[in-house]
Structures are given as C-alpha cells and as structure tokens.
Amino acid sequence: MVSTINISSKKMFTEFHRILLSRGFTEENALRCAQIFTNNSIDGIYSHGVNRFATFIKMVDDGYVKPNNTPSLKSKHAGIEQWDGNLGAGPLNAMFATDIAITLSQQYGIGCVALSNTNHWMRGGAYGWHAAKKGFVFIGWTNTIANMPAWGAVDNRLGNNPLVLAVPFNNEAIVLDMAMSQYSFGSMELAKMKDEKLLVNGGYDTSGQLTNNPSEIIASKRALPIGYWKGAGLSLLLDILATILSGGSSTQEISKNKIEAGLSQVFIAIDISRLGNNSSISNLIDNIITDYHQSVTGDEKNKILFPGERVLQTRKNNLANGIPVIKNIWEEILQL
C-alpha cells in the first residue's frame, strides 16, 4: 500500500523554485523550470513531474545538466535550424526549441528545429500543449538511452524515443505523447510498487516469454516495443532522424555513458493560420472528435477518450484538491 499526500500546486511550485535556485539556476530559469515540473504534475504526468524532480536535481548536482547553459545556433537554412543545447536543462531547452519552431513556422508555414546535446525533456506532451494552445500543430520527438531491444533481439540497442503530436482543439489541445515501448520503466516500477499486473504484456521475463508482470520485465530489462516489429522500426527511424537532423548523439552514443545525457531532439511546428482552409479547421477537428466519441463500447460507462482528454479533468481536480504525491517522494524533495 503506497501512501500519498495532496500538495497544492502553489506549494509544489514554491518548493521546486527554492530547490532550483539553490542549485544555481537564475531566477528566470528557476521560475520556468519549476513551472514545467509543476504543470506536468498538475496534468497527472507524475512520472515526468514530481516523481522525477529529485532525479533531475541529481543530474544537476552530478554536473550532467548545466543549469544556465542555453542553446546556441549551429546552422540554419530558411525553415530549418540546428541548435546545440549545450547540456542545459532539458525542459528549458525543449521549450526554447518549440518557440523557435513556432516562429519559423510563422514565416515559412512549417518550421523545424533540431536540437543536439540536450537533456531529458521530461514530459514531451508539455511542448505539444504549449504549441497547440498557441494555435500551432506540433510534431516532435526525442531519442533516449537504449532501453528496448530490436525485434527478435535480447539486448537493448533502441531507445523508446517518445513521439508527440498535438493540434489545437477548443482552446485546449489534443496531445498524443507516446513512447515506443508499450510501458515506460517508470510506469512498470509504479505498478510493481503497487503490486499490480500490467493490462497487457509489457515485455519479457528472464526466460524470454512475454509477460504482464512488471517485476519480471524490470528484472530482464526487456521492454516490448508497441506493435512488436513496428514500434521497434519506428524507434530506429526516430533515432536516425533526431541524430542526423541535429548532428547530435544517437541512442548508441548516449548509451556508451550509461547516463542519459546529451540527447537529440526534433521540434516541428506548422502555422495552420497560413492555410487556405484556416477558418474551417476547428470544425474539421470537431467533426472527427464528435464521431470518435460516438464509438460503441461493450460497456456504457466506458467512454472513449481522445489522447489528452483525461488530462483536462485531472488538471481541474489537482488544481482544486492538490496534487497527489507519494509520501516518500515528497519527503525526499523537501530534503533537497
């Protein structure tokens, strides 16, 4: 039984801000970074919000994340730019790159920023929400350390390389944020802690059989790609693209260091206000979602949700009642 406490978003933000300042972040960077970690938690993405904050601070303390390094331009050609993240804080670099991609898209219709030498962006969906709330289409992805085998292999040479697609919708957004593994190791650790089985098979046990027992997958370190060979293939292509477009490190190179640092990421924005059908776009999306919501389920209570839809309710609840945090995790943060 895992014991949780509710922490107000204001309290959480204040603690994060205090800790970031204590690690040498400038006031502005501390505010921005605390806000991203708090927002991820408000939205219910605890694994890349409050649950990951102490790990992030350790990366700062160990010198892998440079608090006040900012990206520098490496090369540009009209709508595409390459930036070096200079090992700055991943969430700050990613938000910076998203904003540059948006600016490029305003000029060129579509803009692409490829970012090398950056760090874990935490919740990729944060950048999708950011761009889509401003009215832009967003497509982005990151590579990661090797944490998934190729299809048919037993050793991990692929990252789970999360992919984010986002579109504006009803002053909010539809945001898909998906890693190429069926489950993240973070969510498997959580299921293990709660003594729960996974809903579907999430990887292999140490004898090579597919299993939904998170403990066995954590022991074998063999997570399952979504769609078996398909997710493995998509992961490989996302790594190749992030690496060549940014001129940065591949999953293989990142993995040599055993520490997940110096990642490669891609941020694409599209300015849909420049399209000839701009005025009808919200209707087009509305029609698709209305139909999607009419999906027939075997069970009346089981409403079909679009990616990101649950977030709105979670956000409302967490803002009203505080963010549920595992007690040990919060106590650890207070000690930082």
Contact segment (CB under 8 A) with its own copies among 50-58, 76-84, 312-320, 328-336 equals: 76-84
Please report how close the Cβ of residue 24 comes to its own copies at its closest, in angstroms: 31
What SS3 state is found at 76? strand
CB–CB of 90/124 below 8 Å?
Answer: no
Residues 88, 93, 97, 103: is their CA dihedral positive or negative? negative
- Encoded tokens for 77: 């050609």
Span 265-294, contacts to its own copies by CB under 8 A: 268, 270-272, 274-277, 280-281, 284-285, 287-288, 291-292, 294
130 belongs to the catalytic site: no
The answer to whether 207 contacts its own copies (rule: CB under 8 A) is no
**Which residue, 30 or 268, has its beta carbon nearer to its own copies?**
268
Residue 155 binding its own copies, by CB under 8 A: yes
Q: How far is CA 151 from the centre of its chain?
A: 24
List 111, 125, 140, 159, residue binding its own copies (CB under 8 A): 111
Q: Which of residues 226-245 bind its own copies (CB under 8 A)?
A: 226-228, 230-231, 233-234, 236-241, 243-245
Residue with tokens 């998203």: 98
CB distance 127 to 164 below 8 Å: yes
**Using CA of residue 296, residue 301, residue 302, residue 307, what is the dihedral sign?**
positive
**Residue 126 has which token pair?**
């944060």
Shortest Cβ 45–its own copies spacing (Å) = 15
Shortest CB 240 distance to its own copies, Å = 6
Report the residue from 307, 312, 329, 336 that binds its own copies according to the rule CB under 8 A. Answer: 307
Least distance in angstroms from the C-beta of 328 to its own copies: 29
Rounded Cα distance between 96 and 83, Å, is 10
Place of tokens 């709508």: 79
